[in-house]
Structure 1
Amino acid sequence: MNFDSIGEMALGSRLRALSNIVTEDAERIYQLYNIELKPKWFPVFYFLSNENKGKSITSIARGIGQSHPSVIKIAREMSKAGLIFEQKDVSDKRINNVFLTEKGIEISEKIKEQYTDVENAIKDALKQTKHNLWLAIQEFEYVLSEKSLLERVAKQKKQREALEIEILEYLPVHHKDFKRLNEEWIEKYFKIEEADRKALDNPKEYILDKGGKILVAVQKNTVLGVCALIKMNDQKHDYELAKMAVSPKAQGKGIGHLLGTAIIEKAASLGASNIYLESNTILKPAISLYKKLGFKKIVGHDTPYERCNIQMELKIK
Structure 2
Amino acid sequence: MNLYQNLGYLAFGSRLRRLSEAFLSEINRAYQNEGIDFDASWFPVFYLLSQNESLSIKELSEQIEISHPAASQLITGLKNKKLVATATCTDDGRRQLVQLTDSGKALLAQVLPVWAAVREAMDELVASEPGCRQLLPAITSLENTFRSTNLANKITEKLSATLKTEAYE
Tell whether the structures are fold-level matches, with TM greater than 0.5: yes
Instruction: Describe the SS at the equivalent of 1:154.
Output: helix
Match of 1:152 in 2: 154
After superposition, give the CA deviation of every residue in 1:95-143 in whole Å (9 maximum; x if it has no partner). Answer: 2111100011122222221111100111111121324221111111111
Match of 1:91 in 2: 91
Aligned positions, number: 166
Q: Distance in 1 between matches of 2:22 and 2:67?
A: 23
After superposition, give the CA deviation of every residue in 1:186-206 in whole Å (9 maximum; x if it has no partner). Answer: xxxxxxxxxxxxxxxxxxxxx
State the structure with bigger RCO (CA 8 A, min sep 6), 1 or 2. 2
Q: Distance in 1 between matches of 2:23 and 2:166?
A: 44
Q: Distance in 2 between matches of 1:39 and 1:115?
A: 10
1:138 pairs with 2:130? no
Q: Distance in 1 between matches of 2:71 and 2:120?
A: 28
When normalised by structure 2's length, the TM-score is 0.90
Pairwise CA distance, 1:67: 0.9
Higher helix share: 2
Contact 1:44 1:71 in 2 (8 A): no
Structure 1 unaligned segments of length 5 or more: list them.
167-218, 220-317
Letter in 1 for 2:77: E
Q: Distance in 1 between matches of 2:142 and 2:94?
A: 39
Letter in 1 for 2:152: L
Q: Distance in 1 between matches of 2:74 and 2:162?
A: 43
Contact 1:89 1:97 in 2 (8 A): yes
Runs of at least 4 residues off by over 6 Å: none
Match of 2:26 in 1: 25
After superposition, give the CA deviation of every residue in 1:192-234 in whole Å (9 maximum; x if it has no partner). Answer: xxxxxxxxxxxxxxxxxxxxxxxxxxx9xxxxxxxxxxxxxxx
Q: Distance in 1 between matches of 2:153 and 2:66?
A: 21
Letter in 2 for 1:89: C
After superposition, give the CA deviation of every residue in 1:158-186 in whole Å (9 maximum; x if it has no partner). Answer: 221221233xxxxxxxxxxxxxxxxxxxx
Counting only pairs closer than 5 Å after superposition, residues 299-314 of structure 1 correspond to structure 2 as none
Match of 1:46 in 2: 47
Q: In terms of Rg, which structure is larger?
A: 1
Percent identity reads 25
Counting only pairs closer than 5 Å after superposition, residues 180-191 of structure 1 correspond to structure 2 as none
Match of 2:110 in 1: 110
Instruction: Describe the SS at the equivalent of 2:87.
Output: strand
Higher strand share: 1
